[in-house]
Structure 1
């Protein structure tokens, strides 16, 4: 017959409890009266961390919005990737909005609200994403600091570190390349933030009215840049490409920027250098821009541009990877020589007055005609008269009737030719 274990008496249990209580009181006394506050805090925190780690089977990755003063690309990848998993959102809220100003009834887009939890699965591993926010104060901005918590079981930590983050980074690149709409960002110098809206300029290289040779050269150059990651790495250069677009107003510089953006599927950051106080602020502004984008600086011949060209750590070295930088100017001769030296602008593009080819392209776009009995007359006048594509377009839009529009264009060119002749004669009399 098995021996029955003895059950401790009530007095024994009470005695043990009294002893433990006395030890606890003594231990607290030692902590509070003998040990300094810093040491007490350290001991308590170590015990807390130990027991928390021992009993908690989860591990949490913290993905902050900024990393080394620039946009954290892992955060950016998560921001792009997670909206594709909105079916897995576990909280009872969802961001809804549309920035399509041209189509008020366009289908809204959905986003992740703060404190929302999204469930993902990777190779059988259950993952939980949470978007969080905290107040962030800095020299050039005051806004909410966003960050993600990614939680998984401890046993899968190494797998997530080695495979999952790379997986979402590659997937986000594909998503961005296939996005339906681009954005144009404008810098708000008062609040020190980039403000964005949908970029809805529909000009493409197919519809752009420029000479075929120039168009083909630009397309080849852009495609080579897009596929040039390994080349830039091999030669030790940052993955950037700079374009200087120069020529008279109305020659299509803005349209060319739009065509480049649509061809590359890059959003645009439109920066007015006049609002930049110094090089330090410029560098700070640029750290809050994204990869795979266009930095556009228009009218660079105006005040404020020169200072940015003197610092070696300024505009170029502060930009992120896979970036196209476009300067535009109406007066190339007024630019700081530092901007024109080798290494600043890779490609100089002259946007000139209208040519017969450009006129025919515009007529096909706006009037939908390939031939007309006034074409020959107009082409001869265009060779003689300096008219910009914008001026030609304005006349072509007078009427949908080709006869009316082309007649208006002929009258405009005759008037412009007459004014030019009178101006030349006046200059000759003045010189005499």
Structure 2
């Protein structure tokens, strides 16, 4: 063994001497040329080609490097060594490929090898900003026969996957516009944002399960059909109108939609918008994959229904929309026109982004102008009704933990008998259950008593079907819900006829 190590040391010494001799006999330029030609010669007989993706391209950050790093988080679970990271404004931890480690990925029957190369930067050159001490990059090895396919579809797939991962890992944001657009966030935009932490989901939403499924299918179909919108020449956007009595869960529905799709929310306060041009600027500064909300649109602005009394011109002063309480007639400039609002939802300026949903909420749909409700602006009309038997069971599960079969048949039958006639909102039911959440039996008992009192009050006030069989307030609400379910896409003529009839009444 001792002789073996002695021979190995002698061989290493000879090799070092030969390298020193070659360095002294051959200039660096000649050695570089020989090495380059040897590499080219080896590439001719190799079935692979290599691509380097550096972290910094000149002085700019390489977007493709960040995308590859995120993309490999979905494949790096097969690696023995991973690095854990948590991005800014994120509540989740992601893993990535460690330094100088490699991983094999497969895409549509093509196999590639990724290697994360990290080396120390030798010298700092003069630059307008300091460079990192480490030089990072990815080396992609692909077979020559797959080169064209990999550089096209595969890299596009990486960018799309990375964007999706980035969106899922980042917390949702809730934006609001400031007075006159004067306030700016850290990015210099006229929207101020806070993390969106609303816990509402479709699972916890107190609504008929069949109606929830229809809404969820519509949202999913919208988010996955970019090619359809492009092929048909339509802007990739959709409008939802939420209407119904106060306390029926319109705001919770918006939160559930945002959590389901993973979209940000822009809560537009029309009373803070001074002009049509400012409204357009706010729209231009919204991002894709977002929900633009105008809550209680019948209260935030003095909206005149053109069909209510007489036919009016678009240019008459009465068609100005004045911010509530702002005194638009006093000349302080806080007015926008109906035309500006319509173009905001379905005009040329509404197409400056993609994958956005406009949501309007109102307690009085009859006060809104029919032009605002037509398809293309509000494509789906969702009636947020009083509690049904199915929604009460959802609330009992949410607040008291009652599962199917936990309540006695007598209690369930009594609830089913009175809930429709009680006209009680999910907000009222929730308050009763929260107040008595530590005593489940008492909570159910008080809820039943409250419903029975409401039924007696409604019967006394004549809110149920009258003696002459004509539709009353309760029946009219049921009729609106039925029409919303039968025609979820809001046929323009049907809605206009309904609005005009309600206004005349």
Q: TM-score range by the shorter chain?
A: 0.5 to 0.7
1:256-275 equivalences in 2 (<5 Å): 256-275=253-272
Equivalent in the alignment of 2:359? 326
> Taking structure 1 as reference, are residues 115 and 394 closer, same or farther at Cα in structure 2, changes over 3 Å only?
farther
**Separation in 1 of the partners of 2:356 and 2:240?**
11
How many residues align? The count is 305
Runs of 4+ with deviation above 6 angstroms: 77-85, 95-100, 161-165
Secondary structure at the residue paired with 2:238? Answer: strand
Query: Does residue 276 of structure 1 match 2:277?
Result: no
Q: How far off its partner does 1:215 sit?
A: 0.9
Q: How far off its partner does 1:392 sit?
A: 1.1
Equivalent in the alignment of 1:380? 417
> Taking structure 1 as reference, are residues 201 and 422 closer, same or farther at Cα in structure 2, changes over 3 Å only?
same
> Taking structure 1 as reference, are residues 164 and 234 closer, same or farther at Cα in structure 2, changes over 3 Å only?
closer
Equivalent in the alignment of 2:457? 419
> Taking structure 1 as reference, are residues 395 and 78 closer, same or farther at Cα in structure 2, changes over 3 Å only?
farther
Instruction: Find 2:291's aligned residue among 288, 294, 317.
Output: 294
1:194-233 equivalences in 2 (<5 Å): 194-233=191-230
Does the Cα contact within 8 Å between 1:308 and 1:315 map onto a contact in 2? no
Q: How far off its partner does 1:83 sit?
A: 9.7
Query: Does residue 251 of structure 1 match 2:248?
Result: yes
TM-score (norm 1): 0.61
Q: How far off its partner does 1:328 sit?
A: 0.8
The gaps in structure 1 that reach 5 residues or longer are: 1-57, 64-73, 86-94, 101-105, 108-113, 125-160
Secondary structure at the residue paired with 1:294? Answer: strand
The gaps in structure 2 that reach 5 residues or longer are: 1-55, 73-85, 94-127, 141-150, 185-189, 304-320, 322-335, 467-505
Does the Cα contact within 8 Å between 1:99 and 1:197 map onto a contact in 2? no
Q: How far off its partner does 1:191 sit?
A: 1.6
Equivalent in the alignment of 1:191? 183
Equivalent in the alignment of 1:158? none
**Separation in 2 of the partners of 1:78 and 1:332?**
50
1:119-198 equivalences in 2 (<5 Å): 121-123=137-139, 169-179=159-169, 181-189=171-179, 190-191=182-183, 193-198=190-195
In the TM superposition, what whole-angstrom CA distance separates every residue of 1:76-132 from its partner, at most 9, and x where no partner exists? x999999999xxxxxxxxx997698xxxxx99xxxxxx96856652547xxxxxxxx
Does the Cα contact within 8 Å between 2:206 and 2:387 map onto a contact in 1? no
Does the Cα contact within 8 Å between 1:398 and 1:404 map onto a contact in 2? no
**Separation in 2 of the partners of 1:291 and 1:413?**
44
TM-score (norm 2): 0.53
Equivalent in the alignment of 1:314? 344
Equivalent in the alignment of 2:27? none
**Separation in 2 of the partners of 1:255 and 1:368?**
20
Instruction: Find 1:395's aligned residue among 400, 418, 432.
Output: 432
**Separation in 1 of the partners of 2:130 and 2:279?**
34
Instruction: Find 2:447's aligned residue among 391, 401, 409.
Output: 409
